[in-house]
Amino acid sequence: MQMIRKTLKVSFYYSFVPSVKLEGEVRAAPNEGHADQVHRSELLDDGEWTFRVEGTIIDGNKNAACQSTAKKFSHFFRKAILDLDDQLYPGSNPIEWSSFRSGDDSDGFSITRPGKKGFQTHRLRLQLLRNQSPERFALSPDLFNAISPYLTPNCGPDDTFVKADISFALWQYIKEKDLMKTDDCRVISHDEVLQRVFECHEQPIHAIMGSLQTKLTPVGPTVIDFTLQ
């Protein structure tokens, strides 16, 4: 079976709508018996800005948007958290978007907020939490070098894997290298490669899963900081 890799392209858009002006004429205070007409533009607000996050599936072979997949942005991310600029919005709570609350599959989301007089630029921090079930982990470099031939797909050290696949790959390595002690099959005798991974010469089988956990890093959120203007 041939594996086809596709890419999720995430795009960010920012727009600002200037303030609405109320055009009108008002009468100035009388000056030497004359009532002069003056023109005034009154700001009704300080404008508003919109920030949009949008995802598109890209076919890795054609480098173009893929129209055949039904999976959208909300399939890959379960939550987004946006932190606004404290100077512009002091004391504001983080804004959360959830794929579970949004209902139908969506290509992205957007937020709109009023501007503030005197601020031409402001900051925004976006955290994207991937929709992973079961949870996925990144491997330590030494562990990846040891078991990567037994992992599917074998793509690169920046990939992440579920724990079941990691455990299976480790046991495949142990079996192929014949690392079980001949006089006690409950103990794994580490070769030089696993000694670098676990920093010991041997381990009982029941302890190796606990040691493996310390070499795995849960996938955290993708954090992006923006300066908007």
Write down the pTM of the prediction: 0.63
**Each residue's pLDDT tens digit, 133-176:** 788 889 999 999 999 999 876 555 567 898 999 999 999 999 99
* CA nearest to 163, candidates 208, 204, 206, 218: 218
* CA nearest to 49, candidates 88, 21, 87, 11: 88
- Among 74-83, 98-107, 119-128, 210-219, the least confident range: 98-107
